[in-house]
A and B are shown apart, each in its own frame.
Chain A
């Protein structure tokens, strides 16, 4: 499916702490042309991404989560569609070895994260879409 023709673009935020997922979702919802989904369960998130892969453009995931890690989730997201930007966030130091064999993470953001940084980071990855939405709305 051609993601460029699907509006709004979907963004997923996955964090096992519901309060943080809500917080990040509310912040990211400020980006025009996007629809933000928050998940506390990585498997539910993956299911939603698989079902709606044509709309997704970015997935932001916490690292330590029950069942699967954020890196494992992002690896699976990459398998679904390598065009989806994959951002990992964590409050913990992550050893280099963890990243060494993984090409599934486009960007790593250490917690605590300011909302402005998170928005900038995600915007960078969905920039093309945002620009396109602005152009459409000005027509």
Chain B
């Protein structure tokens, strides 16, 4: 019995991949508070490497901050497993309130926040900030979900205006997008506008 596999493995340069990822996580750690980055990932493995390396580096640098991870393609348990594999003390940090892992769908479907799905992300982050006064909040959100719930217009507005809130709030946000969702979600014109708007704050992995 034979089987055939069709896998889009792509044709990417694997040279110095680890050092490149370490470089990315260090760059993200160095992003000042009040900034917002777009991370476009080609596959879930790349996303895992970046968010786990970054989380580890951020916790090591600022152990008293709060890291909020809102995954979409990974379950919360998978995120925990990935972080643990990088040496992050997940249980301890979650217990201390320094690490929060919630499926992004649970946040944007939370009707407690009487605002649009996209705005619920911001409302949730403010809630975390209120719960942890004085602490810096780092948000890692997989925005690919908005492709599936068809809230593209609202998301576009969110991406265009997020920096205004970040400047007054005490957090920074990394918005992850799977490349295929990003392409599907926005027209070429919108995508170019977003990329131009974020300029050097776009990282493709």
Contact = CB atoms under 8 A, between A and B. Distances in A.
On whether the two chains bind one another, the answer is yes
- B interface, size bucket: 20 to 34
B180 interface: yes
B105 interface: yes
Given A67-B180, A67-B184, A92-B75, A17 B44 contact: yes
A56 interface: no
B183 to A, nearest CB: 8
A48 B8 CA distance: 14
Given A67-B147, A67-B180, A69-B148, A91 B5 contact: no
B1 interface: yes
B75 A91 contact: yes
B112 interface: no
Interface stretch (A28-36, A79-87, A99-107, A116-124): A28-36
A37 B4 contact: yes
A18 B10 CA distance: 13
B109 to A, nearest CB: 8
A40 interface: yes
Nearest to B149: A69
Contacts of B75: 91-92
A107 B183 CA distance: 30
A21 to B, nearest CB: 8
Interface string A16-45: 111001100110010010111111110011
Contacts of A32: 1
Given A92-B75, A92-B103, A66 B3 contact: no
Contacts of A65: 73
Contacts of A8: 1
B72 interface: yes
Contact of A29 (B3, B73, B103, B148): B3
Contacts of B180: 66-67
A3 interface: no
A56 to B, nearest CB: 13
A38 B7 CA distance: 8
Given A17-B44, A40-B8, A64 B73 contact: yes
A13 to B, nearest CB: 10
5 contacts: A16-B44, A32-B1, A35-B1, A44-B8, A67-B184
